[in-house]
Copies of this chain bind each other. A is one copy, B any other.
Amino acid sequence: MTFKYNNVYLNETSTVAGRLESEGPLSTKYDKVYKDFYMGTKTWEQAEIKMITECVDILLNKSDKKKEDINAFISGDLLNQIAASSYAASTLKIPYIGIYSACATSTLGLILGSNMIEGKMMNNVVVNVSSHNNASEKQFRYPVEYGGPKRATTTFTTTGAASALLSYNKSGIKIESGTLGTVIDSGIKDAYQMGAVMAIAACDTISKHLKETKRTIDYYDLVLTGDLGIYGKKILKEALEKEYGMNTNNVDDAACIIYNIEEQSVYSGGSGPACLPLVAYSYIIEEMKKGNLNRVLLVATGALMNTNLVNQHLTIPSIAHAISLEVLI
């Protein structure tokens, strides 16, 4: 389902990133980076909570808004029970909407925030996501210390938090429309094929978005998915080209941008809810402000995986939500 917005703007963004992200191609573009995974706390989970509260503080410091001005803190992450978001919300004291859409959480949050601003139910909304590589590894896969070998199709969960301030106050970047995704059964049972799982959902949401807005893909200067990785991106491009006859020169994937895949040991690229917005809220927004990109479609993709259900041999569902950003001329 696609929503059209006339009164929603992206006022400000902020990013906090971890070690591997700070060693990647966007190293200079983040607001804050940490070189170790504990970030001055005792555990990886507490480090993730800290990244969120710092990221929101940086966001509000960049803007003219205080915590009391914010109507809702919309946030989600990969920890069970989205615990990083909830514990951060406990510190922030802003009315809290906890959401979960795996690595598609960022654009789900932007859609919810935009819907409530466009509908005049809220004035100022902070949308946040986070992920932490080690906290995620130990929860979804194996103890980090185990150091098991991985397949090339594995993705590497990014460490970072990314926040956005939305409001009806005009800024240089308008949130123009959003497409809420539908869950797709990928038919895949292999938890190390996340790119393939999510490529199907990305294809579904992109094609619905273009159909419902009566656009062709070349309307956008960039269609940025995240986080498919090098193999998932290939699958998506082939699907868009062969099934829909699209030219996909303007399609790229955040998982392939955030790291130097050839040099850093990140398998097929980045993943985690923070992956796409770490790229979008730093590099892409900068390019939009410079005038190098005018219309960008962000398509965050999520594999709605649960370890119990993977072990029960169920197929993995996936979803993608899209947000269209436009530079105001």
Contact = CB atoms under 8 A, between A and B. Distances in A.
Interface in A86-126: 86-87, 89-90, 92-102, 108, 112, 115-116, 118-122
Copies in the complex: 2
B307 A80 contact: yes
B100 A99 contact: yes
Contact of A180 (B95, B183, B307): B95
Contact of A308 (B71, B83, B312, B317): B83
Contacts of A112: 97, 112
A307 B139 CA distance: 11
Nearest to A82: B100
A181 interface: yes
Contact of A108 (B45, B98, B181, B319): B98
Contact of A97 (B83, B92, B180): B180
Given A81-B306, A118-B121, A312 B42 contact: yes
A86 to B, nearest CB: 4
A34 interface: no
Nearest to A5: B121
A328 interface: no
Contact of A121 (B99, B115, B306): B115
Interface string A107-151: 010001001101111100000000000000001000000000000
Given A99-B99, A312-B43, A79 B306 contact: yes
A307 to B, nearest CB: 7
B96 A182 contact: yes
A104 to B, nearest CB: 9
A76 B82 CA distance: 12
20 contacts: A1-B72, A46-B312, A76-B100, A80-B80, A80-B81, A80-B306, A80-B307, A82-B100, A87-B314, A90-B183, A90-B185, A93-B183, A97-B112, A97-B180, A115-B115, A115-B122, A116-B119, A118-B119, A119-B119, A119-B121
Interface of A: 1, 3, 42-43, 45-46, 71-72, 76, 79-83, 86-87, 89-90, 92-102, 108, 112, 115-116, 118-122, 139, 180-185, 304-309, 312, 314, 317, 319
